[in-house]
Structure 1
Amino acid sequence: MQRFIAVVSGDSMWPTYADGERLVCSDDVSTVGADSVIVFQHPLRSNVRAIKRIKEIDDLTAFVEGDNPDPLASEDSHNFGRIPLSNLIGVVLHVESKQ
């Protein structure tokens, strides 16, 4: 298992995570399920990694949403459909502590 940092860009995950927050993530996605917050390759833009919450998951795909209650604040599965699980890069463990 490797850990990495993902930086939140935008307000789609507010109020859970704020723009600019640094998230500690794991590349072990074997245990993700509904309600996991994941980092994934955007299905339509190959140069973009996104951070969203899994709302529904099956053996091949996941439906992901941002936490922001404003429907215009998040580009997610409502816009681009379910994502293939092969697009998963990691799962968020926690916010990086400020020292």
Structure 2
Amino acid sequence: MLTGRVYEAADGVAAGFAQYLVGEGEAKAEALRLAHRVAQNAPASNFAVVQALPRIAEVGPTEGLLMESLMAAIAQGTPDAKARMAAFLEGRANKVKEA
């Protein structure tokens, strides 16, 4: 940003600025596909990823482990998480697939 360097899309993905590369005019459809996929996650899990993980990265190891344990306990204690775990244990859960 300080040098004003311009990156082509593929170079930006390779440099880690973005995770996805789509054709021209396909960005909105891909964004909506990803949003629908994220919306299927448990709300507590999304909260943990967006709010807790960045803060865990900013603290020391001891504090980070405590925060991680607390967030995991909260996320695992929700009714939807319990239902997903029961489905997994009973062999009813969907298999994880490559995106």
TM-score bracket for the superposition, by shorter chain length? under 0.3
Task: Pick the structure with more helix per residue.
Answer: 2
Return the structure number with greater relative CO, CA threshold 8 A, min gap 6: 1
Higher-strand-fraction structure: 1
